[in-house]
Amino acid sequence: MFIIDAHLDLSMNALEWNRDLRLPVHTIRERELGLHDKPDRAKGTVALPELRAGNIGLVVATQIARYVAPENPLPGWHSPHQAWAQSQGQLAWYKAMEDAGEMKMIRNRKDLDSHIELWNDGKPNNAKPIGYVLSLEGADSIVTIDHLQRAWNYGLRAIGPAHYGPGRYANGTDATGHLHEQGRALVKEIERLGLILDATHLCDDAFWDAMEIFNGHIWASHNNVRALVDHNRQFSDDMIRALISKGAVIGAALDAWMMVPNWVRQQSTPEGMHCGLEVIIDHIDHICQLAGNSHHVGIGTDLDGAFGKEQSPYDLETIADLQKLPEMFSRRGYSQQDIQNIMHGNFLRFLRNALPE
């Protein structure tokens, strides 16, 4: 089955983790043996060959560069200008992949339709480029509101105002606080330009502010259910209902700590916590039950988002194993149409509505 993954940090892995994603996952792992600068060394799950092997022909691919104030202990850049420069380096990597025939930026509906036609032509995927919709995770690198127009011009089509902690425009995971004047101005500019607003990582205060003032296309690229794992990173049922009312699609994330309760970082294991792919169906099913249908949930794995196999479902060796999900859904009583909705149909419909002609 054709699959859309609504959240992959590909450029971060290429530049900050120094992974040549043109190579197979096992080759990247072999090169990382003996390295300990990152907790997920030699445990990656994502590379372009595995996307092709898994028939994952379209992804939402990110730029990500956080600004951190002097008192902020999180990793990041010490000025918005440095963060902007980092995001531009990430853009350059995507362009290099396009030049190599490895990827294809999807800017508009025409690009989308021609790319979907290519990936469903019945021919082998080996030489097909991975289509990507460019998204910015956290708006800290937008030096001024005017920079958002520049980003739109080079192909940015979605943006999440926040990431972890306090942000320049909005507070994110583990932080609190309403949108201030600059944050509200950013949200209105996102609407004016026709960018997709990504509600992922918004703290509760900022989430409800955005729901009130934003009238454009909104999704949550990688977010799970608070009723199943009680943490502010997750969505409450009321938040999910609000997103459903706005026509949003929520991408289910495969970060183990978001899938099962009581995960302890650097200690818990997927096997020990019984965290397999079946668990994500519980989160997806919860959203479907709230919606009364299968129209508002998809896949947004966040695989290799600063974690690897040590924090992924135990029955996922590489991202190609997403192909296990359709049969799992079928065993849970989902119809073929429902499964297609979740694996690609909902995000495809959303993009056809949200992208410019």
Dihedral pair phi/psi, residue 2, rounded to 5°: -65, 140
Give the CA distances from residue 151 to residues 141, 159, 179, 190, 238, in Å, rounded to whole numbers and listed in that order.
11, 10, 22, 11, 32
Q: How far apart are CA 161 and CA 169, in angstroms?
A: 6
Domain count, the chain: 1
What per-residue confidence (pLDDT) applies to 251?
99
CATH number of the domain to which 100 belongs: 3.20.20.140
Q: How far is CA 37 from CA 16, 126, 297, in A?
A: 11, 32, 35
Nearest to 48 by CA among 320, 342, 324: 320
237-245 and 204-213 helices, crossing angle to 10°: 20
pLDDT value, residue 67: 97
Tell me what pLDDT residue 315 has: 98
pLDDT value of residue 19: 98
Residues forming a β-bridge with 105: 132
Distance CA 102, CA 115 (A): 13
Do β-strands 130-137 and 4-8 pair in parallel, antiparallel, or remain unpaired? unpaired
What was the pLDDT predicted at 357?
A: 93
Helices (H), 19-146: 25-32, 48-53, 80-99, 109-119
List the domain range (segments joined by +) for residue 163.
4-354
- Residue 178 confidence (pLDDT): 98
Local confidence pLDDT in tens for the 357 residues of the chain: 999 999 999 999 999 999 999 999 999 999 999 999 999 999 999 999 999 999 999 999 999 999 999 999 999 999 999 999 999 999 999 999 999 999 999 999 999 999 999 999 999 999 999 999 999 999 999 999 999 999 999 999 999 999 999 999 999 999 999 999 999 999 999 999 999 999 999 999 999 999 999 999 999 999 999 999 999 999 999 999 999 999 999 999 999 999 999 999 989 999 999 999 999 999 999 999 999 999 999 999 999 999 999 999 999 999 999 999 999 999 999 999 999 999 999 999 999 999 999
pTM for the full predicted model: 0.98
Give the per-residue pLDDT at 263: 98
pLDDT at 319: 99
Give the burial class of 103: count Cβ atoms within 10 A of its Cβ; 0-12 exposed, 13-18 middle, 19 or more buried: buried
Integer-rounded Cα radius of gyration of the chain: 19
> In this structure, are residues 297 and 346 in contact, taking their beta carbons and an 8 Å threshold?
yes
